[in-house]
Chains A and B, each alone.
Chain A
Amino acid sequence: MSSETGAEVRASDAALIERLVQRDEAALATLYDRYAGMLSSVLNRILRDSQAAEEILQDIFFQLWRTASQFDASRGSLPGWLLVIARNRAISRLRRHNPAAGDELNENAVALPFNFESAMAQQQLLGRVKGALESLPQEQRAAVELAYFEGMTHSEIARRTGDPLGTVKTRLRSAVETLKRTLQPMMSQGI
């Protein structure tokens, strides 16, 4: 949840990244306030260990501080990159292996055509994503959650649930198609 209230003018992510490159600590603090809650939530959901989640959270923002000059805002979205990195690192920690080598800023353009830069927009998105996920049939939702939050592959999900591999693949594909259809209006509006 952002704490930028009052008559303060909100700086865009791109402007804050430019200030990070100039070693402006206040810009890092602002980006932290903007996105730490969102990242902390997904890290805790995956790891169920608040200490490990906080270690990774600090590490991600320190990496952002060190390598801000490599981030090209025109190639990708900062919150998108942060979410992908947070999820990848949490899954790596969960599965006790080193983070993927593809963690570098310039190798992970993540397109996220949403306005994430305000508390209101984050809240609106949160409500719609939760709604979209809850609208899925239970077995599809469970498969998506096992893949995204537990880091399981098709075959691992099949072993966990006891369902045939083909069934799991079909469920995941149907679920993703439904999610895309549900979220598409938001993408069109660029909320």
Chain B
Amino acid sequence: MNGHPTREEDFDLYALGALEPEEKQAIESHAASCGECARKLAEEQGRIALLALAAPLVNPSAAVKQRLMQQVRAAASSHGPARAAKESDRAGGFFGRWWTAVLVPAGAMLVLATIFLWNENRQLDKQLADLHAAMQQQQQQLREAREVADLISSHDTITVALAAQPGMSGGAAHVMYNSKMGMLMYEGELAPAPAAKSYQLWLVPAAGNPISAGVFNPVSGQADHWMMKLPQGISPKAFAVTLEPAGGMPQPTGPKVLVGAVS
């Protein structure tokens, strides 16, 4: 145990949730003051958390995201009235004459009512526009999710790893491609392209010229990811990423940065 009042396997069982309450408490107390055990515990929790992926896929209804975003907006706007009240307090000293006691409140109420109604109207318009946009976005997401699911689940889909070429700046990518569907999904990470240059992905068919499958300019530290429709029925022998003039070229002209042969 090396001075640690816990056994290694107890971290696994803690993460799995199988320990009795007193055993769980003992591990938590120890990890709170032991950096090494806290690190091991974090690793085991991460490893065991992967079991969640064995659950059958159940997508939440679109209403959950809508309610979440409404909740976020409501939380943000709840700070507004307090701020308005403070500003109102500051403005109060300007009106000292007796008649202002009658006219100013009446005028203020009229102005407030007008602002309230105008604001209500504007908010309703905005909510309507938001709902419309959310519906369109959800329909688009549904279409895209179906395409991704079809691509991934199809037995005809191939996955090709693209490896960095000697002398290039490194990077790696994967391509999933289904010839019958004409669908391609790219995911990869490359260093940003030099000035006035772009990367371009190519499908290299068994016969004929390479076909462009996307022009992209990576941002440092971020992966690129997209799906693309290509003509159906093309049998690829390889995929490659080349460095081209900004905006891409009809056919590859620059050096190969990543290459992956179809096995």
Contacts and interface: CB of A to CB of B under 8 A. Distances in A.
Grouping DSSP codes into helix (H, G, I), strand (E, B) and loop, the B interface class, with mixed when no group exceeds half, is helix
Interface string B54-90: 1111111101110111011101100000000000000
A9 B218 contact: yes
Contact of A41 (B19, B57, B144, B187): B57
B42 interface: yes
A112 B147 CA distance: 28
A80 B145 CA distance: 23
Which of B47, B141, B185: most chain A CB closer than 10 A? B47
Contact of B16 (A38, A110, A148): A148
Contacts of A18: none
Interface stretch (B98-106, B117-125, B219-227): B219-227
A23 B76 contact: yes
Interface in A83-132: 83-84, 86-87, 91, 102, 108-114, 117-123, 125-126, 129-130
Contact of B59 (A10, A40, A42, A80): A40
7 contacts: A5-B226, A28-B69, A42-B55, A44-B56, A61-B68, A65-B75, A176-B13
B71 A148 contact: no
Contact of B226 (A6, A45, A53, A133): A6
Interface string B137-172: 000110011011100100000000000000000000
Given A6-B227, A123-B152, A129-B53, A102 B46 contact: no
Contacts of A38: 52-53
Contacts of B36: none
Interface residues of A, number: 83
Nearest to B145: A1
B15 to A, nearest CB: 8
A80 B19 CA distance: 20
A157 to B, nearest CB: 7
A102 B68 contact: no
A38 B60 CA distance: 10
Contacts of B64: 36, 54, 57-58
A167 interface: no
Contacts of A61: 68
Contacts of A144: 16, 51
B48 interface: yes
A123 B150 CA distance: 12
A176 B17 CA distance: 12
A1 B45 contact: no
A83 B226 contact: no
A86 B65 CA distance: 16
A130 B16 contact: no
Q: Which of A114, A119, A151 has the most CB of B within 10 A?
A: A119
A173 B11 CA distance: 11
Given A147-B13, A153-B19, A172-B13, 4 more contacts: A1-B149, A12-B222, A110-B45, A176-B13
A6 B229 CA distance: 10
A42 B214 CA distance: 35
B49 A112 contact: yes
A109 B68 contact: no
A41 B224 contact: no
B16 A172 contact: yes
Contacts of B238: none
The residue among B12, B73, B76 with the most chain A CB atoms within 10 A of its own CB is: B12
Contacts of A177: 9, 12
Contacts of B50: 83, 112, 114, 125, 129, 183
A3 B141 contact: yes
Given A37-B60, A54-B61, A62-B68, A91 B141 contact: no
B38 interface: yes
